[in-house]
Homo-oligomer: A and B are copies of this chain.
Amino acid sequence: MSQTNIGDDEVDIVIGALHADLTSFLNEWRPLFSRFHLIIVKDPDLKEELKIPEGFNLHVYTKSDIDRVVGLSSTAINFSGYSCRYFGYLVSRKKYIFSVDDDCIPAKDNKGLSVDAVDQHITNLATPATPFFFNTLYDPFCKGADFVRGYPFSLRSGVTCALSCGLWLNLADHDAPTQALKPGHRNSRYVDAVLTVPAGALMPVSGVNIAFNRELAGPALFPGLRLAAEGKLRWETVEDIWCGLCVKVICDHLGHGVKTGLPYVWRNDRGNAIESLKKEWEGVKLMEEVVPFFQSVRLSQAAVTTEDCMLEIVALVKERLAALDPVFARAAQAMADWIKLWKAVGSGSGSGSSPSNG
């Protein structure tokens, strides 16, 4: 890492494999990924053998690993589809995780130079976030940036950044109705900025291109809100939105930060939004309940770790949302199960037990 003191061995790159042939995906990322350890988690629904090019330092996890670690005990967590990546978050032991969808490749910046998404995410995480006052000059810790006149000096040291959300060129991360309304629409706007999302403001986190501090954010990044007709296209999922809201509410409570903006990745086209419309309406409708709920969440002073906070949110989901739709009761159960798993597998803060994988 050029701009930070983070060692390559403090980072895991986690890929959920929804496609069997990862050859072109990994070859595109080779210049950026080759010096890191990769965790590839195969979608348990995928029947074909994975095709993985040589020359990477990686560990592949499949359905049998999931069954072994998670056990045959009943759990509300389903690791199929996009959710398989979360298994990688569970078994990683690194400080930082970067995860990107397998239909994305490195983007080019405004000058046509290839974007080093890993380096940018790690810089975002390794430099402070500033959630308590908005800096109009964007992330003051970016190269060439600083605080604007009027920014209190006492707030300039910032806080630890727990989550870095990257963006997308070409196919933006819209929902199916938006994509269906504008089938030809592509995002070509490269916004050269990183910013801290202010404390108290919620946002829809997309799991397409994110990185995070595993100890601080990992317990809240889990597949919880699963649509009845969830599919294998991003606009047919909301699990990442739900856990993003958990992370943001928890960061606001614990005094950590969330950044959004750079790095971009290039998302290739895939799927037919119009065919997804029927499924997607379920997700769109749920958001009308989900957002006001998270805006109302207040955590207690007794909640001092992400795990504590998650368990308080579980109770609130059961109390305020579960009666509205069975999908919320299942989400609450999945959250509780995730925290149990996170502690059992040894990912919990201060846990000393060894991981069950090599």
> Is the CB of A146 closer than 8 A to any CB of chain B?
yes
Contact of A203 among B134, B199, B288 (CB under 8 A): B134
Q: Kindly state the separation between the CA atoms of A66 and B160 in the bound complex, as whole angstroms.
A: 50
Q: Which of A197-230 contact B (CB under 8 A)?
A: 197-206
Q: Which of A152-176 contact B (CB under 8 A)?
A: 152-155, 165, 167, 172-175
Cβ–Cβ contact A133 & B174, under 8 A: no
> Is the CB of A234 closer than 8 A to any CB of chain B?
yes
Chain B residues contacting A124 (CB-CB under 8 Å) are none
Q: Which of A89-145 contact B (CB under 8 A)?
A: 110, 133-138, 144-145
Q: Kindly state the separation between the CA atoms of A137 and B287 in the bound complex, as whole angstroms.
A: 18
Cβ–Cβ contact A201 & B201, under 8 A: yes
Contact of A200 among B145, B200, B244 (CB under 8 A): B200
Distance (whole angstroms) from the CB of A331 to the closest CB of chain B? 15
> Is the CB of A235 closer than 8 A to any CB of chain B?
yes
Q: Kindly state the separation between the CA atoms of A174 and B148 in the bound complex, as whole angstroms.
A: 5
Distance (whole angstroms) from the CB of A137 to the closest CB of chain B? 6
> Is the CB of A56 closer than 8 A to any CB of chain B?
no
Q: Kindly state the separation between the CA atoms of A147 and B291 in the bound complex, as whole angstroms.
A: 15
Chain A contact surface mostly? loop
> Is the CB of A191 closer than 8 A to any CB of chain B?
yes
Cβ–Cβ contact A150 & B190, under 8 A: no
Cβ–Cβ contact A173 & B148, under 8 A: yes
> Is the CB of A178 closer than 8 A to any CB of chain B?
yes
> Is the CB of A59 closer than 8 A to any CB of chain B?
no
Closest to A242 in B: B150
A182 with B146, Cβ < 8 A, contacts A167-B136, A193-B193, A197-B198 known: yes
> Is the CB of A65 closer than 8 A to any CB of chain B?
no
Chain B residues contacting A260 (CB-CB under 8 Å) are 134, 136
Cβ–Cβ contact B238 & A188, under 8 A: no
Query: How big is the A interface, by class?
Result: 35 or more
> Is the CB of A185 closer than 8 A to any CB of chain B?
yes
> Is the CB of A189 closer than 8 A to any CB of chain B?
yes
Cβ–Cβ contact B199 & A201, under 8 A: yes
A204 with B150, Cβ < 8 A, contacts A172-B137, A192-B191 known: yes
Cβ–Cβ contact B206 & A150, under 8 A: yes
Cβ–Cβ contact B241 & A149, under 8 A: yes
A200 with B201, Cβ < 8 A, contacts A137-B172, A146-B182, A288-B154 known: yes
Cβ–Cβ contact B288 & A133, under 8 A: no
Cβ–Cβ contact B192 & A190, under 8 A: yes
Distance (whole angstroms) from the CB of A226 to the closest CB of chain B? 15
Chain B residues contacting A175 (CB-CB under 8 Å) are 147, 149-151
Closest to A134 in B: B203
Chain B residues contacting A204 (CB-CB under 8 Å) are 133, 136, 148-151
Interface of A with B (CB < 8 Å)? 110, 133-138, 144-155, 165, 167, 172-175, 178, 182, 185, 187-193, 195, 197-206, 234-235, 238, 241, 244, 260, 283-284, 287-288, 291
Please list the 5 inter-chain residue pairs (A to B) with the smallest Cβ-Cβ separation, ordered nearest first.
A150-B204, A198-B201, A150-B241, A134-B203, A200-B200
List 20 A-B pairs, Cβ < 8 Å. Answer: A133-B201, A133-B203, A134-B202, A136-B165, A137-B172, A138-B191, A144-B185, A144-B187, A144-B188, A145-B189, A148-B173, A148-B204, A149-B178, A149-B206, A149-B234, A150-B287, A152-B287, A152-B291, A153-B284, A197-B198
